[in-house]
Amino acid sequence: MSRLEIRAVEKSFGEVRVLKGVDLTVESGEFFTLLGPSGCGKTTLLRIIAGFQGQDRGEVTVDGDRIDRLPAHKRDVGMVFQDYAVFPHLTVAENVAFGLRARKLPEAEIKARVEEGLRMVRLDGLAARLPSELSGGQQQRVGLARAMAIRPRLLLMDEPLSNLDAKLRIDLREDIRDIQRRLGITTIYVTHDQEEALAISDRICVMEKGVAEQVGSPFDVYHAPRRRFAAAFVGTMNFLKAARDGGRVRLGSQVLQLAAPAADGFDLAIRPENVLIGALGEGRPGVDFDAVVSKVVFLGREAQYTLRTEAGDLLAQVADPTRELLAMEGRPIRVKLPYDKILVCSAAGDVAPAEAA
């Protein structure tokens, strides 16, 4: 297993600073995801680790050894690409064997590793097929088997599921996670898909404009965001303009039993699933508002409600809604924001749990 360290890595393309002094540590055997929108620098960072791109400043080490001084083919990394990147003229088995033959391993060992890799990705009956005879999901499994067959120190994956349909994405992401746990390969995974990142990662790095905004477990990134961008990008978040009222927080016409932050200019934030409507809010300490339900969207296991309140529009999410709740569009309803679920966002973008007054 291998511990990856990235220290003060910077990269610019012309006048555009793509990475701005990124510091990260990925522990041995960890499944670590770089999550962010297009242009945030996540793929550039992955390419620097792989050796396909050089950094301007900083260091990349594995177990204390500088790998950023080595060419890509000597870094001992496996790479799985977005566009499958299988060789069309080679069979499935020949694709998986490609890196092994380049390493001049004995044929018996190559055969054993190919068979093992194809079993692992559930393609053991398709060894003689060409990529043109495979589905997109099967081609990506070939790429995964090829990357793992060389038993790399690091496994790098660049949006490997983005070209697949929704059902295949879910199936293959579970396979990837199961295989990674079984082998214990240190894995760095790039995606813009929040749900994917939450489902498969040990830890997530949320990136924006070349900066690592927050690093933490999926639970902490979702439930305890430390920066406004992370709060808004991962999942859905309501933001409401608030103000100081002495030492407390004013929201609309109401003064909350919450301590106001020292600085002026802040918002309150709350997840839609924590906005309680009707009888769901009874008995919980929090602030109550009258609201009008302007839209109801039924999604099967849950429903989403767009609510108009004096404090601003709110999105609420209700699991397993009743028929009565689904018929609330256009009607008034009582809304509660529980105090223990409210976050405070400063003008500088820092996020912290609200404190009782």
Based on the fold, state whether residues 228 and 241 are members of the same structural domain.
no
Identify the CATH number of the domain in which residue 197 sits: 3.40.50.300
Based on the fold, state whether residues 266 and 148 are members of the same structural domain.
no
Task: For the chain, 357 residues long, give each residue's pLDDT as a single digit of tens.
Answer: 699 999 999 999 999 999 999 999 999 999 999 999 999 999 999 999 999 999 999 999 999 999 999 999 899 999 998 888 899 999 999 999 999 998 899 999 999 999 999 998 989 889 999 999 999 989 999 999 999 999 999 999 999 988 888 888 898 899 999 999 998 999 999 999 999 999 999 999 999 999 999 999 999 999 999 999 999 999 999 999 999 998 999 999 999 999 999 877 899 999 999 999 988 888 889 999 999 999 999 999 999 999 999 999 999 999 998 898 899 899 999 999 999 999 999 999 999 999 998
Q: What is the rounded CA–CA span in Å between residue 258 and residue 130?
A: 64
Based on the fold, state whether residues 219 and 312 are members of the same structural domain.
no
**Residue 272's pLDDT is what?**
97
Based on the fold, state whether residues 137 and 268 are members of the same structural domain.
no
Domain end residue (candidates: 174, 198, 232):
232
Based on the fold, state whether residues 146 and 253 are members of the same structural domain.
no
Q: What is the rounded CA–CA span in Å between residue 162 and residue 193?
A: 9
Based on the fold, state whether residues 222 and 142 are members of the same structural domain.
yes
Q: DSSP assignment of 317-350, as one string?
A: EEES--HHHHT-TTSEEEEEEEGGG-EEEETTSB
Q: What is the rounded CA–CA span in Å between residue 17 and residue 279?
A: 51
Which residue range forms the structural domain that includes residue 336?
236-353
**Residue 273's pLDDT is what?**
96
**Residue 217's pLDDT is what?**
98
Domain end residue (candidates: 232, 259, 275):
232
**Residue 344's pLDDT is what?**
97
Based on the fold, state whether residues 226 and 258 are members of the same structural domain.
no
Based on the fold, state whether residues 151 and 245 are members of the same structural domain.
no
DSSP 3-state of 159: coil
Identify the CATH number of the domain in which residue 271 sits: 2.40.50.100
Based on the fold, state whether residues 247 and 207 are members of the same structural domain.
no
**Residue 298, CA distances (Å) to 28, 257, 292, 306, 317 in order:** 43, 34, 17, 12, 10
Based on the fold, state whether residues 178 and 211 are members of the same structural domain.
yes
Domain end residue (candidates: 170, 200, 232):
232
**Residue 60, CA distances (Å) to 11, 44, 102, 237, 274 in order:** 13, 13, 25, 35, 41
Based on the fold, state whether residues 205 and 242 are members of the same structural domain.
no
**Residue 54's pLDDT is what?**
96
**Residue 116's pLDDT is what?**
92
Based on the fold, state whether residues 225 and 243 are members of the same structural domain.
no
- Cα-Cα-Cα-Cα dihedral sign, residues 160, 219, 37, 235: positive
**Residue 254, CA distances (Å) to 75, 241, 277 in order:** 60, 13, 18
The single-letter code of the amino acid at 284 is: R
How many domains, in total, are found in the chain? Answer: 2
Rounded to the nearest 5°, which phi and psi values hold at 296? -125, 125
Residues in the chain: 357
**Residue 219's pLDDT is what?**
97
Cβ–Cβ under 8 Å, residues 221 and 208: no
